[in-house]
Amino acid sequence: MNDSHSASYAAAGVDVTAGYEAVNRIKPLVESTYIPGVMGTLGGFGGLFAPDVAGMERPLLVSGTDGVGTKLKLAFLMDKHDTVGIDCVAMCVNDIICSGAMPLFFLDYLAVGKNKPERIEAIVDGVTEGCRQAGCALIGGETAEMPGFYPEEEYDLAGFSVGLVDQAKMIDGSALQEGDLLIGLGSNGVHSNGFSLVRKVLNITSRAALDIHVSQLGHTLGEELLRPTRIYVRALRCLRQQGVTVKAVSHITGGGLYENVPRMMKDGLTARIQKSAFPVPPIFEVIQRAGEIPERDMYNTFNMGIGLVIAIPNGEVGAALDVLTRAGEQAYVIGSVVKGDDGVVLV
């Protein structure tokens, strides 16, 4: 591989030697995520993983895929690339835990206008940090240099994760009943959704707009908006390990509470959420005021401070809150399950 070089390909804008340098830079980062089950090393044509299914009656694989979206535009403007990888992992693993699966491994896809090894290293540094937070391994990926398709200073980042759950321990909402309580886990701000609206209403077209210090936030707008998405894998794992009954889970992404909470409800039941039961981070007030956005639209676009909603039996709320607090989460009882066919009602 060290002798591989194509002057013709380089003249077309693709530098394969830069690709090799990038691989050498990220290899120790990738290996830092390895967990039992990883087979082989970076550089093969496929990532290998041997899952431990001992004790499972019917093991099921659960997969999720997503990207970072237009939040990347802020990373370009700030020339800060070491957190968007966390977002990418979070958007995938937070989805698959809604089924009760624990993530095993992750693969990323990075398409760049120009391969800059130090920037690739920073991006993958974020991906590996996300994997470590999620307890899964980064077992492969792809970096594609695409001159003429992406500007030299821009890229796109996406990925997918695969998790494992015993069918008997799946979380599917089938056991939901009237009187169950809803616990919301605090978000880390905007997370990775709604950035097309954020960029429009805050007029983010240059680095100068992101360097503005906002007293309401306590730091710059850019620092606030690039905060990475929280990863809730450990929280859910702790709940189940401590015997707390988890009946349904919803990851609050694009579409906010109005779109995502109904996805965990079953027919005839509605989630009744009390907006005053949890704090709304100041960034959402800044966005709403700047764009004169109706409150309904805010809750139908953003997470508004709640990144994950968990339904549990009424009698287990104390134990659940204790476990979640010890797991480092800000947890709130935000509502309950009631009869109805609305899916979700915010009051």
Specify the DSSP element, H or E, that contains 289.
helix 282-291
- Pairing between β-strand 181-186 and β-strand 219-220 as defined by DSSP bridges: unpaired
Give the pLDDT confidence score for residue 5 in this predicted structure.
Answer: 64
How many C-beta atoms surround the C-beta of residue 285 within 10 A? Answer: 13
Q: How far apart are CA 233 and CA 91, in angstroms?
A: 11
**Rounded (to 5) percent helix, strand, coil in the chain:** 40, 25, 35
Give the pLDDT confidence score for residue 21 in this predicted structure.
Answer: 81
For each of the chain's 347 residues, which pLDDT tens digit applies?
Answer: 456 666 766 666 666 677 778 888 889 898 999 999 999 887 778 899 999 999 999 999 999 999 999 999 999 999 999 999 999 999 999 999 999 999 999 999 999 999 999 999 999 999 999 999 999 999 999 999 999 999 999 999 999 999 999 999 999 999 999 999 999 999 999 999 999 999 999 999 999 999 999 999 999 999 999 999 999 999 999 999 999 999 999 999 999 999 999 999 999 999 999 999 999 999 999 999 999 999 999 999 999 999 999 999 999 999 999 999 999 999 999 999 999 999 999 99
CA angle 169, 175, 177 (to 5 degrees): 155
Q: How far apart are CA 119 and CA 182, in angstroms?
A: 41
Give the pLDDT confidence score for residue 325 in this predicted structure.
Answer: 97
Q: How far apart are CA 307 and CA 239, in angstroms?
A: 16
Give the pLDDT confidence score for residue 254 in this predicted structure.
Answer: 93
Give the pLDDT confidence score for residue 17 in this predicted structure.
Answer: 75
E-strand ranges in 86-180 read 102-112, 137-145, 155-166
The overall pTM is greater than 0.75 = yes
Residues 194/338, Cβ–Cβ less than 8 Å:
no
Q: What type of residue sits at position 295? A: E
Non-local (6+) Cβ contacts of 11 within 8 A are: none
